[in-house]
Amino acid sequence: MLNDRSSILSLLETRRSVKPRELVGPGPTADELKRILIIAARIPDHGKLMPWRFVSVADDQRDAFAALLQTALKEENPEATDAHRQKENEFAHYAGQLVVLVSAPAENHKIPVWEQQLSSGAAGMNLLMAAHALGYVAGWVTGWRAYSEHVRQAFCGPGERIAGFIFIGHPMRELEERERPELSAVWKPWEPPSV
């Protein structure tokens, strides 16, 4: 039990994201992906609304995804350069498994949309953790594609939005540590206001 606990703590203390463009395959197997998504769905969710969904994009759908991004880019930025178009093509073909995290909040519900969006963030985080626990690395990115109406409509229903594109694979080189906040910068004991 102690060993389990220390390996979980070690995972939490050392996990870090990879830049999706620095991934190599293969991504998780079909069974591993299901396991990752079951874990991703096991998160705090006030009111059991499941205000998030996961859309997996298969390897043989990457060309269709690339075509979608090209059409969206034309709409968003008709002046886009060849280099930009090429970048989007590369994005659509990054190695590993692509999962699109969709935030799907229930409107006009007593649980505020804000809380439902927080739950989407938790789902994304658990997805990353599960991927890393299975021996993969993952990267969560957004960028203009996550905010394009054309791309949104390809993955989301009404009232839903893209919370991120999450790529799962293996790192092409050793991950460098990212600077983390000093605890004192993000934590202080509460000081009640004087009345």
* Residues making contact with ligand FMN (CB under 6 A): 16-17, 19, 140-143, 164, 178
CA–CA separation, 83 and 118 (whole Å):
35
> Which CB sits closer to ligand FMN, 111 or 146?
146
Nearer to ligand FMN, 122 or 141 (CB): 141
Rounded least distance, CB 20 to ligand FMN, Å: 8
Q: Which ranges constitute the DSSP H helices of the chain?
A: 2-14, 30-40, 62-76, 82-92, 113-133, 144-147, 149-155, 183-186
48 or 178, CB closer to ligand FMN? 178
In angstroms, give the least distance from the CB of 137 to ligand FMN: 9
Q: Say if CB 119 and CB 43 are below 8 A apart.
A: yes
CB of 39 to ligand FMN, least distance (A): 16
Decide: 102 and 53 in contact? Cβ < 8 Å.
yes
